[in-house]
Amino acid sequence: MYKGASCGMNVDNFKPHFPTEIIVEGKAKVLVPELKAYVKMPSEYAPSKAPVFYNPAMELNRDLSVLAIQVYQKMLGKDIAVCDPLTACGIRGLRYALEVKNVKKVVNNDINENAVQLARYNVRLNACENKVITRNEDANLLLSKHSAPHKRFNVIDIDPFGSPAPYLDSAIRALRNGGLLAITATDMAPLCGVHPKACIRKYGGKPLRTEYCHELAVRLLAGCLTMTAAKRDIGVSIVFSHKMEHYVRLYATIKYGAKAGDESIGQLGYIRHCFKCFHREATKGVFNIEQPSACNECNSRLSIAGPLWLGKIFDRQFAESMQREAKQRMLKNGEKMVRTLSLIEKEAEAPSTYYVIDKICGALHLPVPSVKKIAESLIERGYSACLTHFNSRGIRSDAPASIITEIVKSMTVTNRQVLNNM
């Protein structure tokens, strides 16, 4: 009988009352719901229909998490304790126990009894009884029980179905000084401005439906985390973030102290965007909301997003270390991770927001030129320019929108002249 099991439940004889299958991900061998059994119509989202949540599409998310936590552990230089308070079938916590060196303890937790039984079975299946503990509690209650100094975790991973906002305060309280908090947000409609009122309610910031809305989503999430931590006299530093498919994810370390909290609040502010000429500008200061209201490029009215995080959303050294880890491991998504991390490493020092060339060309009714050639042209003119992982057609640059537009127009004219001379 596993020590974390509920009274009377023998995990050796565990037989789920729903269709399951064994899958292998990373070094973990896991029993999960057989998702095809829960799809009756092509539009149905199978993971949410199953008795226990399991999403195979999040494997890359978990791969990157393994890399990030390993990099953090090496930076810390000691054994770490990890918590996955929304564990479902337990695959995430198991992978940390099996694949991250010097993890001394993992606490998996879920309020769903079916999930807990499945997670405990998977612990036994992977012979991790001495390292992984599985609990059956409300996530916030579990984290609150670990808010005392001697009970706190080094790493907490919040990976919910929807918004992580309800768990941020209890997670921050359950982290040790210098601890790492990993957060996933899958509610992209509010964060990307489709449902702005929901974003304001959940994250305390106004979104915008811009071409770089996914970056704004990361910054809004980071801003919410910053304000939540500051209420506890805690500061945050964002060490890594990324956007994949239907979600955004960020990794932040925390630092105790009112001064650290004040410094983090100093990284908050607003991004003003012109929907007519693509001009955008960032202004720091939570109370700096009034000015300016008109675009200094075309004098149109500016739309505003925020308050949100205006500091760095990637640490270059952290991304480099993750890239080295990815190259050393035999993971199914290894090549994709290296490509993504390489892009992030390059954009770590670049200006906030990015220009999507297709969007500009669509507004100007022009054919779309090569993104790489536009970046090269910007560099030739003395501006910085790099691609972004947020959008394959995006460019980060310190050039004003008018210069980007000018280059797009000139490149289109040049291409036409070449075609006419052929």
Mean per-residue pLDDT of the chain: 92
Q: Is the domain of 290 the same as that of 380? A: no
* Residue 369, domain extent: 354-422
What pLDDT is stored for residue 6 in this prediction? Answer: 36
345 within some domain: no
Q: Does one domain contain both 176 and 291?
A: yes
Q: Are residues 275 and 373 in the same domain?
A: no
pLDDT digits (tens, 9 = 90+) for 157-213: 999 999 999 999 999 999 999 999 999 999 999 999 999 999 999 999 999 999 999
Helices assigned H by DSSP within 276-354:
316-328, 334-347
State whether 153 and 260 are in the same domain: yes
Given a cut of 50, whether residue 31 has pLDDT beyond it is yes
Residue 120 has a CB neighbour count (10 Å cut-off) of 25
Question: What pLDDT sits at residue 293?
Answer: 83
Ranking 39-48, 180-189, 354-363 by mean pLDDT, the lowest is: 39-48
Mean pLDDT of 394-409: 96
Q: Are residues 232 and 157 in the same domain?
A: yes
Percentage helix, strand, coil for the chain under 3-state DSSP, each rounded to 5: 40, 25, 35
Pairing status of strand 391-397 against strand 385-388: antiparallel
Which of these ranges, 30-34, 399-403, 414-418, has the smallest mean pLDDT? 414-418
pLDDT at position 287: 87
Query: How far is residue 42's CA from residue 44's CA, in Å, rounded to a whole number?
Result: 6
Tell me whether residue 321 is in a domain.
Answer: no
Query: What is the domain-level CATH number for residue 370?
Result: 3.30.56.70
Residue 3: inside a domain, yes or no?
no
Query: Do 246 and 377 fall within a single domain?
Result: no
pTM of the shown model: 0.93
The answer to whether position 261 is within a domain reads: yes
What is the percent of the chain with per-residue pLDDT over 70, rounded to a whole number?
93
Q: How would you classify the pairing of strands 153-158 and 175-185?
A: parallel
Band of the pLDDT at 9, cuts 50, 70, 90?
very low
Q: Is residue 347 part of a domain?
A: no
Share of the chain above pLDDT 90, in %: 85
303 with 358, same domain? no
Residue 402 lies in a domain: yes
- Give the pLDDT of residue 332: 86
Count of domains in the chain?
2
Q: Tens of pLDDT along 392-401?
A: 999 999 999 9
371 and 286 part of one domain: no
pLDDT of residue 412: 77
Q: Do both 360 and 289 map to the same domain?
A: no
Q: 381-392 burial, b for 16+ CB within 10 Å, e for fewer?
A: eebebbbbbbbe
Q: In this predicted structure, what is the pLDDT of residue 416?
A: 54
The domain that holds 167 is classified in CATH as 3.40.50.150
Do residue 126 and residue 263 come from a single domain?
yes
- 283 and 361 co-located in one domain: no
107 plus 191 within the same structural domain? yes
pLDDT at 155: 98
